């Protein structure tokens, strides 16, 4: 179901029409980097990367108002640069250029062929509480409109070949659980219908994967949710100031994260059997983060609890209002802000997802490197 009443959807549709007009005006046939026989002209089996997700893939700049509001943004989940985020680090390993945000596309066919980042900070799987935030469905609509644009410009056969060789990267669920556990007053306890809620989230993700498959997408990566129970925000909320006791990770919160991750991976295993020619990967970022949190010194970290940029207990009371608030050495911290890891963590995650080093098998059934070198 598409949510047509959202302001962000309307703006996205207007932007899409403008992008289409730009491309028709400025693109010539000699600009297409695709051979005329309907097959892609790139040596790598992954020719493009299309990213959908939340603040794990976007720094808050994927908005039509970013040039105007940039100086007033209070959300800095990634040191102020999308290039410090996991999907961009992985794109670089695959030999792809920086994947530009949807709203910064300028009509260049070359940029569109490289991929698009549809992600938006605080995006959710479910319909968002605020009309200023995006949902998974809204990003999926933008992705399908982009596929239609490629079909129009390249022709059906060439576009099909390009989409089959493209990687679609999905990273959602964090903000849904945050809204449920932290911001939703009806959830008086983390266990209040929590399992049912995670199952709904997984069902929605599986539907999206199947919809992408029906649109000829064959390479899909689904990222698990980080251990939110160990995040500075959750630990700050659960901090008992009356006794001055700093609690550790919240197991009840992590239980729901694990339920989501485990169920999603199980469903992905089934999809890989049912969807002929598809390669769907699940990446267990939860397990990797827990390794960094419980053995920080082994990976070069000095602080696995406190946010580098934030205020209050654990730096989790208020978020990163300005880069000037950040700690002197972000690389010594596991957490950057309320819920997001530092660039140093993302680099380790990227290396592990790419080749299994330093952490083996966080991406299953194969690594990014194996996916990048495989044919569809």
pLDDT on residue 156: 96
82: confidence class by pLDDT, cuts 50, 70, 90: low
197: confidence class by pLDDT, cuts 50, 70, 90: very high
pLDDT on residue 324: 82
pLDDT on residue 247: 64
Residue 100 has pLDDT above 60, yes or no: yes
- Distance from C-alpha of 62 to C-alpha of 125, rounded to nearest angstrom: 17
Asked if 222 and 264 touch (Cβ cutoff 8 Å), the reply is yes
Query: Residue 150 corresponds to which tokens in the numbers above?
Result: 């490629």
Query: Residue 235 corresponds to which tokens in the numbers above?
Result: 């630990």
Mean pLDDT of all residues in 72-80: 47
pLDDT on residue 64: 64
Higher-confidence residue of 286 and 376: namely: 286
14: confidence class by pLDDT, cuts 50, 70, 90: very low
- Distance from C-alpha of 354 to C-alpha of 16, rounded to nearest angstrom: 33
343-355 and 285-294 are packed helices; what angle lies between their axes, rounded to 10 degrees? 130
pLDDT on residue 63: 67
**Which of 287, 13, 247 has its CA nearest to residue 138?**
13
> What is the CATH number that goes with domain 7-373?
3.40.50.1110
**Which residues have CB under 8 Å from 74's CB, separation 6+?**
319, 320, 321
Mean pLDDT of all residues in 296-311: 96
Per-position b or e across 340-352, b if 16+ CB within 10 A of its CB: bbbbbbbebbbbb
pLDDT on residue 108: 78
Mean pLDDT of all residues in 286-314: 96
Mean pLDDT of all residues in 189-193: 56
The HSE-up count of residue 185 (CA atoms within 13 Å, CB side) is 0
Mean pLDDT of all residues in 330-358: 96
> What is the CB neighbour count within 10 angstroms for residue 272?
16
Domain limits, the chain: 7-373
* Per-residue DSSP letter, 46: -
- Phi first, then psi: give them for residue 364, nearest 5 degrees: -135, 145
| Angle, CA of 209, 215 and 220, to the nearest 5° | 40
Distances (CA, A) of 68 to 26, 64, 99, 146: 26, 9, 22, 25
pLDDT on residue 149: 93
pLDDT on residue 285: 97
Mean pLDDT of all residues in 280-303: 98
Mean pLDDT of all residues in 22-50: 52
CA 98 to chain CA mean position, Å: 15
Residue 31 has pLDDT above 90, yes or no: no
Segment among 25-29, 64-68, 256-260 with least mean pLDDT = 25-29
Residue 1 has pLDDT above 50, yes or no: no
306: confidence class by pLDDT, cuts 50, 70, 90: very high
What sign has the CA pseudo-torsion 285, 290, 296, 299? negative
pLDDT on residue 296: 98
230: confidence class by pLDDT, cuts 50, 70, 90: very high
319: confidence class by pLDDT, cuts 50, 70, 90: confident
Report the SS3 class of residue 13.
helix
- Distance from C-alpha of 308 to C-alpha of 301, rounded to nearest angstrom: 12
**Which of 263, 9, 270, 4 has its CA nearest to residue 120?**
9
pLDDT on residue 184: 56
pLDDT in tens, 251-290: 999 999 999 999 999 999 999 999 999 999 999 999 999 9
Query: Residue 213 corresponds to which tokens in the numbers above?
Result: 């498959």
Report the SS3 class of residue 64.
coil
Average pLDDT of the chain is 83
- Range with top average pLDDT, 11-20, 83-92, 126-135: 83-92
**Which of 224, 229, 272 has its CA nearest to residue 247?**
229
81: confidence class by pLDDT, cuts 50, 70, 90: low
Direct distance between the N- and C-terminal alpha carbons of the chain, in angstroms, rounded to an integer:
29
Higher-confidence residue of 131 and 56: namely: 56
Query: Residue 360 corresponds to which tokens in the numbers above?
Result: 């083996």
- Distance from C-alpha of 180 to C-alpha of 199, rounded to nearest angstrom: 13
pLDDT on residue 320: 82
Query: Residue 318 corresponds to which tokens in the numbers above?
Result: 């208020």
Higher-confidence residue of 45 and 14: namely: 45
H helices present in the chain, as ranges: 7-26, 66-69, 86-93, 109-114, 136-154, 156-164, 174-178, 194-214, 232-237, 251-274, 285-294, 343-355, 368-373
């Amino acid at each position: 179901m598409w949510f047509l009443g959202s302001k962000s959807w309307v703006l996205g549709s207007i932007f899409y029409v403008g992008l289409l007009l730009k491309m028709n005006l400025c693109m010539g046939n000699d600009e297409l980097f695709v051979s005329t026989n309907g097959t892609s002209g790139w040596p790598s089996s992954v020719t493009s990367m299309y990213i959908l997700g939340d603040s794990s893939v976007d720094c808050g700049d994927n908005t039509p108002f970013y040039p105007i509001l940039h100086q007033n943004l209070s959300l800095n989940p990634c040191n102020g640069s999308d290039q410090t985020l996991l999907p961009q680090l992985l794109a670089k390993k695959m030999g792809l250029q920086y994947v530009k945000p949807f709203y910064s596309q300028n009509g260049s066919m070359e940029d569109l062929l490289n991929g698009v980042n549809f992600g938006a900070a605080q995006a959710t799987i479910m319909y968002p509480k605020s009309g200023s935030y995006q949902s998974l469905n809204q990003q999926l609509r933008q992705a399908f409109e982009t596929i239609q644009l490629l079909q129009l410009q390249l022709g059906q056969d060439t576009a099909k070949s390009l989409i089959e060789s493209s990687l679609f990267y999905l990273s959602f669920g964090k903000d849904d659980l945050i809204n449920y556990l932290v911001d939703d007053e009806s959830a008086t306890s983390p266990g209040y219908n929590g399992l049912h809620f995670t199952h709904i989230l997984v069902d929605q993700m599986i539907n999206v994967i199947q919809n992408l498959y029906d649109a000829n997408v064959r390479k899909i990566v689904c990222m698990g949710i980080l251990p939110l129970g160990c995040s500075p925000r959750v630990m700050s909320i659960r901090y008992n100031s009356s006794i001055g006791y700093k609690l550790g990770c919240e197991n009840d919160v992590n239980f729901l994260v694990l339920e989501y991750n485990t169920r999603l991976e199980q469903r992905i295993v089934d999809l890989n059997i049912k969807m002929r020619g598809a390669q769907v990967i699940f990446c267990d970022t939860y397990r990797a983060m827990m390794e960094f949190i419980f053995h920080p010194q082994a990976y070069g970290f000095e602080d696995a609890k406190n946010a580098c940029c934030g205020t209050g207990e654990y730096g989790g009371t208020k978020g990163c209002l300005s880069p000037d608030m950040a700690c002197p050495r972000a690389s010594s911290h596991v957490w950057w802000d309320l819920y997001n890891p530092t660039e140093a963590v993302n680099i380790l995650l990227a290396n592990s997802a790419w080749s299994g080093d330093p952490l083996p098998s966080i991406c299953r059934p194969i690594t990014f490197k194996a996916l990048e070198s495989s044919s569809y």
